[in-house]
Structure 1
Amino acid sequence: MLTIDRLTLQLPYYPRWWRREWTTCIESLSLHLQPGEVHAVVGASGAGKSLLAYAIMGLLPQAARVSGELRFQGEDLTPARQRQLRGHQLALIPQSLNALDPLARSQHQVRWAAQRAGFGRSAAHQRADELLSRYQLSHASTHYPHELSGGMARRVLIAMAQVGNARLVIADEPSVGLDPNQRDRVLAALKAIALEGKAVMLITHDLRHALTIADRVSVIRQGQALETAP
């Protein structure tokens, strides 16, 4: 479903205000994600995990230098195609809960995501209700983000990512800051997405948690894939 072949990413920095230099954040990285699997990308902070997600989604800074190949369902992921697929076939569950609008109730957050994905008003309401029920959030549909637990907020983000029935879902550190019970519920929700025949990329620093749901694990360090198993 997703093929990453020798991906290299460089970002600019300025040791002097008049001189631009480049730092390599990802170097010749290759991965392959299959439908129906959870593929965990594990590495320490600064290893390039989140930048990999942004590269797939087409959310890198404009100044970034990118080489190598990104292919989704057999077609090149050009910037134009990334814009076309983002929020539809490609979905990102961000690490920060600040991605939720602090002034909007849970049901409105999911409805707006559905409308951005192309649903009409009535269909968006129906889709939001369906997803809130699926992720056991119906009782929290009128809650604002500050009224949600960390696990509930994560599940709202998962619901928002699933409004367009995305074929590839990237979850960036979805279990950070959660207690064991909430963490298990979030990870179970991601596994359920994969069991529907979709591909899930789980980005995490915690190998132990990744192994609870991952079908394959790739370990990266300093932007390079060290090992993929099995």
Structure 2
Amino acid sequence: MEKLLDVENVSISFIQYTQGLNQRDLKVITDLTLDVSEGEILAVLGSSGSGKSLLAHAILGILPENANLNGKIKYKGKELSQKDKEEIRGKDIALIPQSVNFLDPLMKISDQAIGHTENDEEKKDKKTKQREIFQHYNLGPEVDEMYPFQLSGGMARRVLV
């Protein structure tokens, strides 16, 4: 069976400041290797804070800026660059979070999905793309103007996908 996803010797750490400007390297994931073949189901288990979501974020290319990632992540035999991760995110690989706490309760759904824009033209382009994606997940135009508390759990998860 062909490997669909291959994670090789992945380590993720963060620079942590202690007592003023003293720094230490906080290792969260160290030398993790796993692979998933086509048709295989993989469960990643661990206690809270053990790095499960961090691993998913590394695969999807959505690690925080202060994260240090080492190792290789391959999809269908190709090592993924950040651009590759952005292209497959939500199309070939998606994260469906258990919690919907990632949504800002004070922002409309469309604004969160679009994110920061530099100008009106970019906002219009992103809005068009956001609407296409939402339509694909059966989220009507009324969802764009809603706040997270107005969504059902299933709708919120589809927004996050």
TM-score (norm 2): 0.68
Q: Provide structure 1 residue ranges, at least 5 long, that are not aligned to the other structure.
A: 133-137, 163-230
Tell me the CA shift for residue 116 of structure 1. Answer: 5.4
Tell me the CA shift for residue 147 of structure 1. Answer: 4.2
Q: Across the two proteins, how many residue pairs are aligned to each other?
A: 144
State the Cα deviation string for residues 172-203 of structure 1 (Å, max 9, x = none).
xxxxxxxxxxxxxxxxxxxxxxxxxxxxxxxx
**Structure with greater strand share of residues:** 1
State the Cα deviation string for residues 205-226 of structure 1 (Å, max 9, x = none).
xxxxxxxxxxxxxxxxxxxxxx
Taking the TM superposition and a 5 Å limit, the aligned residue runs for 1:61-140 are 61-100=64-103, 102=105, 104=108, 119=129, 126-128=135-137, 131=138
Contact in 1 for aligned 2:17/2:23 (Cα 8 Å)? yes
Matched residues in 1 for 2:134 and 2:5: separation? 31
What's the % identity of the aligned pairs?
31
Q: Could you say which residue in structure 1 is the equivalent of 2:62? A: 59
Tell me the CA shift for residue 52 of structure 1. Answer: 0.8
Matched residues in 1 for 2:13 and 2:91: separation? 27
Q: Tell me which of 2, 5, 8 is aligned to 2:8.
A: 5
Tell me the CA shift for residue 119 of structure 1. Answer: 4.7
Rate the CA distance shift 1:40–1:124 in 2: closer, same or farther, 3 A: closer
**Secondary structure of the corresponding residue to residue 27 of structure 1:** strand
**Superposition RMSD in Å:** 3.5
Matched residues in 1 for 2:108 and 2:134: separation? 15
Matched residues in 1 for 2:45 and 2:58: separation? 17
Q: Could you say which residue in structure 2 is the equivalent of 1:14? A: 17
Could you list the runs of 4 or more consecutive aligned residues of structure 1 that deviate by over 4 angstroms after TM superposition? 101-105, 115-121, 123-126, 140-144
Amino acid in structure 2 at the alignment position of 1:66: L
TM-score (norm 1): 0.50
Contact in 1 for aligned 2:7/2:74 (Cα 8 Å)? yes
Ranked by relative contact order (alpha carbons within 8 Å, sequence separation 6 or more), the top structure is 1
Matched residues in 2 for 1:117 and 1:27: separation? 39
Taking the TM superposition and a 5 Å limit, the aligned residue runs for 1:170-181 are none
Q: Provide structure 2 residue ranges, at least 5 long, that are not aligned to the other structure.
A: 115-124
Contact in 2 for aligned 1:6/1:68 (Cα 8 Å)? yes
Contact in 2 for aligned 1:56/1:70 (Cα 8 Å)? yes
Contact in 1 for aligned 2:11/2:32 (Cα 8 Å)? yes
Amino acid in structure 2 at the alignment position of 1:2: L
Contact in 1 for aligned 2:18/2:24 (Cα 8 Å)? yes
Contact in 2 for aligned 1:87/1:161 (Cα 8 Å)? no
Tell me the CA shift for residue 97 of structure 1. Answer: 1.6
